[in-house]
Structure 1
Amino acid sequence: MIGKLYLIPTTLGDTEPLEVMPLSVKKVIEEIDYYIVENEKTARKFIKKISPKKSQASLQLMSLDKYAKDIETRRYLDVCKEGINVGLLSEAGVPAVADPGATIVKLAHENNIQVVPLVGPSSILMAMMSSGMNGQNFAFNGYLPIDKDERRKTIKELEKLSKDKNQAQIFIETPYRNEKMFADLKAALSPATSLCVAADITLLTEFIKTLSVQDWKHQTIDLYKKPAIFIIQKE
């Protein structure tokens, strides 16, 4: 029997795991000792929090950080041939969405290994759900360019695309650059364009609000170092 690859969600911040994900995640973690992770320290912390009695010494963690070589990662699922299940853990939220874990999922399919996604918080989908924008047609664009001129050009292109296709446009930013992004959005977008800002999703400090750009210009919000999602749509 071939082992399976379980896609295991993690919390989006310092939240009790079972407040935002089902008991089935805890049960799977208690049964698996082999994990592919971005960061060993935070992975161990999450596993201990959701399953305090699980032996940390039994854990076999394989790194998926930017220093891991492709030739190494291609062997991470070899244990599945021995009938051993493997868990793929993201740093935050669900694996393989805005996350390097997609390479491991692709490898699993190439090797006829069953992929089992588990339910958990996705900041992208939760922001979309809460935005009031078109949930029937939306696109996730990842990070926008760092260069200010290129970023503003991209913002305008996404705004046009949202109108032409009636498609909500989602993107993210590095938390310490959120406030620059927010300022650029207010400066580049048309006054009537809708803008949703969703920060600290699932945390006690959660903030989700959709306003026209014109109305946002009268608002002051603190986004510094807070994980945030931005969504725009022009009608």
Structure 2
Amino acid sequence: MQGILYVISTPIGNLGDITKRAVDTLKNLDILLVEDTRVSGKLLKNFDIGVKMISFNEYTEKSKTDSIINLLKDGKKVGIISDAGTPLISDPGFLLVRAAAKSGVKVVAIPGPTALIYALTVSGLPTDKFIFFGYLPKKEGKRTNILKNLKKTSNYITATIIFYESPYRLLVTLKSINEVFGDIDIVICRELTKLHEEIRREKVTEAIKHFSEIAPKGEFTLLFHSK
């Protein structure tokens, strides 16, 4: 009998957000795939979970996928989590899930927190249609081209646009948005569900000024409406 691949969401900051179903599933796995054993080890210890962990990240996903599929075919119950939030959303796992589906292995999602949905629901921006683009490219030319294409798209599809960004590239991304879209209203969410959670609603130029004076810290979610 084949095993099952569980895609398990974990908290994005507040440990109280984990679901009972997620904890129960984690406790009954044979193997858990994690981005960083140190990060996930803390989560597992907090809930007294002793499952075997295997490092599975953007650098190892391609090389390890076949061996994980073999374990699933041998009947193992395998779970995958990211460092925080829902796996596969700007995190590893897509190649594995695709391979599992092609191999006839059952894939079950254990839903839970994800930063983009949290940010969207508190942003005050329209929620009926949205475009999530993950992280913009590091190279300025590619980043600008994507933003220009999104602006063209807004001529016939109006939607809230969502990006993730690191503190190290926040300023250059804000400047690129200002260059392409102008001084639009933007919502900037930082450290969601954590002690220092912050949600800023302001013009792009105001955000640029603020983060030029105060160094960005934490993980960011950026949102703005295309019209």
Q: Distance in 2 between matches of 1:207 and 1:160?
A: 31
Change in CA separation of 1:77 and 1:151 when aligned onto 2, cut-off 3 Å? closer
Give the alignment partner of residue 80 of structure 2, picking from 85, 88, 91: 88
Q: Percent identity?
A: 26
Is 1:196 the equivalent of 2:187? yes
Gaps of 5+ in 1: none
Amino acid at match of 2:2: I
SS in structure 2 of the partner of residue 48 of structure 1: helix
Is 1:61 the equivalent of 2:63? no
Change in CA separation of 1:29 and 1:183 when aligned onto 2, cut-off 3 Å? same
Q: CA deviation at 1:200?
A: 0.8
Counterparts of 1:116-155 in structure 2, within 5 Å, are 116-155=108-147
Q: Deviations over 1:53-81 (max 9, x none)?
A: x33xxx33233224426353212132333
Q: Distance in 2 between matches of 1:212 and 1:66?
A: 34
Q: CA deviation at 1:87?
A: 0.7
SS in structure 2 of the partner of residue 201 of structure 1: coil
Q: Distance in 1 between matches of 2:35 and 2:126?
A: 33
Q: CA deviation at 1:153?
A: 4.5
SS in structure 1 of the partner of residue 169 of structure 2: helix
The residue number in structure 2 matching 1:176 is 168
Counterparts of 1:155-170 in structure 2, within 5 Å, are 155-170=147-162
The residue number in structure 1 matching 2:19 is 22
Change in CA separation of 1:172 and 1:69 when aligned onto 2, cut-off 3 Å? closer
Q: TM-score, normalised by structure 2?
A: 0.85
Q: Distance in 2 between matches of 1:133 and 1:164?
A: 18
The residue number in structure 1 matching 2:66 is 74
Matched positions, count: 225
Amino acid at match of 2:91: D
Change in CA separation of 1:77 and 1:145 when aligned onto 2, cut-off 3 Å? closer
Q: CA deviation at 1:181?
A: 2.1
- RMSD after superposition: 2.5
Q: Distance in 2 between matches of 1:157 and 1:72?
A: 35
Q: Deviations over 1:5-33 (max 9, x none)?
A: 111122223x3x2x112211111111113
**Kept after mapping to 2: 8 A contact 1:62/1:76:** no
The residue number in structure 1 matching 2:11 is 11
Is 1:208 the equivalent of 2:199? yes
Give the alignment partner of residue 30 of structure 2, picking from 33, 47, 61: 33
Amino acid at match of 1:129: T
SS in structure 1 of the partner of residue 224 of structure 2: strand
The residue number in structure 2 matching 1:220 is 210
Gaps of 5+ in 2: none
**Kept after mapping to 1: 8 A contact 2:167/2:219:** yes
